Structure 1
Amino acid sequence: MVRHHIKDIGLANKGKLRIEWAAQEMPVLKSIAERFRKEKPLKGIRVTACLHVTTETASLMETLKAGGAEIALCASNPLSTQDDVAASLVKNSGISVFAIKGEDTKTYYRHIKDSLSIKPQITMDDGADVVSTLHKEEKALLKYVIGGTEETTTGVIRLKAMAADGALQYPIIAVNDAYTKHLFDNRYGTGQSTVDGIIRATNRLIAGSVFVVAGYGWCGRGVAMRAKGHGARVIVTEIDPLKALEATMDGYEVMSIKEASRIGDIFVTATGNINVISKECFSVMKDGAIVCNTGHFNVEIDIESLKMLSKTKRIIRDYVEEYTLKNGRRIYVLGEGRLINLAAAEGHPSAVMDMSFANQALCAEYMVKNAKKLQKTVYSVPESIDKEIARLKLKAMGIKVDTLTAEQKKYLQSWEMGT
């Protein structure tokens, strides 16, 4: 059996069925896997993937393996692993996995290093922890790496900062920047799965609640949209005047986080920044306020300050920690401040991850073919890949679109014709 460190190999059969269920909604990735199986574009390529170990990720891993890759997979968040999926990948797919749901920070980074032991040529990241570890602690392995991909907004921000400082040692494609990724995964996937996680963790009614969304990027847009659909009074907090204006014209109330803290019932952070909900916010929240995060890292909620303000803490439900402040008010933190949609729920629906992971697979293929031509910086997904994925998705959905006539093409390419 391949190298692994997982919770229980006995969960493999359950995981296999769940992977099969998710794969039914991933026709684009299936079509790519069929081509990869014939063409083997990744033959002999070693891939270290640091992603949420979910049923959808399993389909991506199997697609890469179909293309000829050797894979080592670790989790990109300590609470995002689905242990039965990890077991199935090891037992049924022959893929090395180092991931256990609820692993501590030390184990999390040990698993990253375990996954790097294959001396990867391609890295596949979600949050840039593998890239960071390579550049800080495993520099000797950089000579093997030809390129990588990055899945999420937070990781892209980190990598662009590295590139700007001249620290990045190999080219990386920002999968998150693809239209077929962030317009759908971030908006519809995060929107549905975040609200799903909140409901599973709390069983609270969303309708009629004051629902505060911090950040109006594509993830924040999706959360606000779904909360509104559930009947909540949605408040958006922002630092960007353009996004604040957009949120206002989308029909939401916009105010400062401090002001919103006084009236909110449920708070969701979606900014990618630190201490968005701070000591000042906790000090004015009403009794029973629920706080959670859907940004990649557990830094958006200042939990250390909350601990200092509190006299007691207890786990009152799975993924729900009750902090009782010194004045008697209670604040509930979900999923330890980590990604609530993966801590308490199952992450994004497979239909949107189909496009996101199709980008990952095709960008890995692109990197193998073009790495020698690329600089040590962060690239957007090639437009041809983005459009091909959209075309394949529409085809799978049975949707037909128009094409330009010769006359229309000529008109768009000319400047002589007017009214």
Structure 2
Amino acid sequence: MMSSVVEESMIRDIGLAEEGNRKIDWVAAHMPLLNQVREQFQKDQPFAGKKVAICLHLEAKTAYLALTIQAGGAEVAVAASNPLSTQDDVVAGLVSRGVKAFAWHGATDEEYHQHLNQLLDFHPDAIIDDGGDLVSTIHSQRPDQLKEILGGCEETTTGILRLRAMDKEGTLKFPMMAVNDAYCKYLFDNRYGTGQSVWDGIMRTTNLVVAGKTAVVAGYGWCGKGVAMRAKGLGANVVVTEVDPIKALEAVMDGFRVMPMNEAAKEGDFFVTVTGNRDCITKSDFEVMKDGAVMANAGHFDVEISKPDLKDASTGVRTVRKNVEEFQLHDGRKVYLLAEGRLVNLASGDGHPVEVMDMTFALQALGLRDIVSGHYSPGLHTLPKEIDLQVARMRLEAWGIQTDELSERQLKYLASWQPE
């Protein structure tokens, strides 16, 4: 059986499995929520007889999610949602544990889409997606498989935007759970996870100090809030750019300066885009940037910093450190792009902290169990509040923290409109 999984997979080198398994074992020791879910899945077997396809950033934490789904009785296959975040040793470790895989670090666009199609050749009954590429591929290229899918879960803000557009058009043909919209996802993963891991990736890659410099954060959603908050904690002067007046006002009242990107471009030492939209930094911004400015993206796709504009504004480009490209502009200034404009926290680091992803992946696993129950109609669905609360309680219990509970009298008071 194991040799069959190895032969059917497309990975860099199965010989890397030992190191990958050490990474997986490390995160497993620090993910008490997912361990609890895994134990329950082993007893209940909610995915028995089902095939689950997972398209996520393939590193140790997502690997342990795949193994948790596998423990619930599923046959599991994985592909990468980002070729630069793929860790070949972790993928090999998964294959050594019976998970089929179609991914390797640095895959070309052609190879990336080939891997997605190989994942769909697996004919899954359910999916977990990151960014919506798997859902998009099924709907646009493999419509015959639509009827095979019981449903799935989506991980990211960008993916939810795409699914919401499909849902509005009536083109989403199977149920998808908007896990990213759960409180225990965006309040903690998006804010604290993104906030820490983005600066981990930037500092690991550049080895530059943050304190005393100006950090420009494009976008003040939950991810942007986290990036700005952590930049402030590292001693940076923080500028926020926004298009939403309410979010801009919130940034001001959180103590940050707010201005248009073309003004912020003149001041920034570090730039982090985290909007989910394209062309946040473009030609006119490159023209006024400081010599030595460093740009990174924390949105799902590599379109937030306009790479075509950057190329046009440059006379040459060279790699000066791993994941650091130096662009020489026409007037002699040099600006730097990290990780090819892809997700800096995963392409240049290990992604979010383990304990944060423990919560997110507990939501994913429990959400997938719910979606395959067959109780959902095609379209985009909100994760049930009960699952959100369950994960919050599990996290508090793992930390040994207790909370108060409402008395019967308090519950009655809250439920009544009449005075006592």
Tell me if both proteins adopt one fold, taking TM over 0.5 as the criterion: yes
Paired residue for 2:91? 86
- Over aligned residue pairs, what C-alpha RMSD do you find? 0.9
Deviation for aligned residue 1:374: 2.1
Residues 305-324 of structure 1 aligned to structure 2 (within 5 Å):
305-324=309-328
- Mark the runs of 5 or more structure 1 residues left unpaired by the alignment: none
1:42-92 Cα shifts (integer Å, max 9, x gaps): 10111111001011111111110000011110000111111111010001x
Mapped contact 1:212–1:234 kept (Cα < 8 A): yes
Matched, 1:54 2:91: no
| Deviation digits for residues 287-343 of structure 1 (CA, Å, limit 9, x no counterpart) | 111011000000101011111111110000000000001110101000000000011
Code of the residue aligned with 2:93 in structure 1: it is S
SS of 2:262's partner is: helix
Map of 1:117 onto structure 2: 121
The letter for the 1-side match of 2:418 is: E
Alignment of 1:117-136 (within 5 A): 117-136=121-140
Give distance in 2, aligned partners of 1:192 and 1:101: 23
| Residue 97 in structure 1 maps to residue 101 in structure 2 | yes
Which sections of structure 2, spanning at least 5 residues, go unmatched?
A: none
Shift of the alpha carbon at 1:375?
Answer: 2.3
Partner of 1:222: 226
How far apart are the structure 2 equivalents of 1:400 and 1:158?
Answer: 39
Match of 2:394 in 1: 392
TM-score by length of 1: 0.98
The sequence identity of aligned pairs, in percent, is: 52
Q: Which of 186, 199, 206 pairs up with 1:202? A: 206
Correspondence 1:183 to 2:190: no
Which AA in structure 2 matches 1:31?
Q
**Deviation of the 1:417 alpha carbon:** 2.4
**For each residue in 1:178-206, what CA deviation from the matched residue of structure 2 results, as whole angstroms up to 9, or x when unmatched?**
11111111001100000000001100100
The residue identity in structure 2 corresponding to 1:415 is: W
* CA distance in 2: counterparts of 1:132 and 1:80, whole angstroms: 21
SS at match of 1:112: helix
Q: Note if contact 1:72-1:116 (Cα within 8 Å) is conserved in structure 2.
A: no
Where 2:372 maps in the other structure, the secondary structure is: helix
Distance 2:173 2:146 in 1: 7
- Pick from 216, 220, 223: which aligns with 1:212? 216
Map 1:3-22 → 2, pairs under 5 A: 3-22=8-27
Q: Which residue of 1 aligns with 2:403?
A: 401
1:139: how far off? 1.2
Once the two structures are TM-superposed, the CA of residue 121 in structure 1 deviates from its matched residue by 1.1
- How far apart are the structure 1 equivalents of 2:143 and 2:124? 12
2: CA distance, partners of 1:17 / 1:275: 40
CA distance in 1, matches of 2:122, 2:297: 33
Structure 2 distance, partners of 1:206, 1:9, is 39
Spell out structure 1 runs of 4+ moving beyond 6 A. Answer: none
Aligned to 1:72: 77
In structure 1, what is the Cα distance between the partners aligned to 2:79 and 2:122?
12
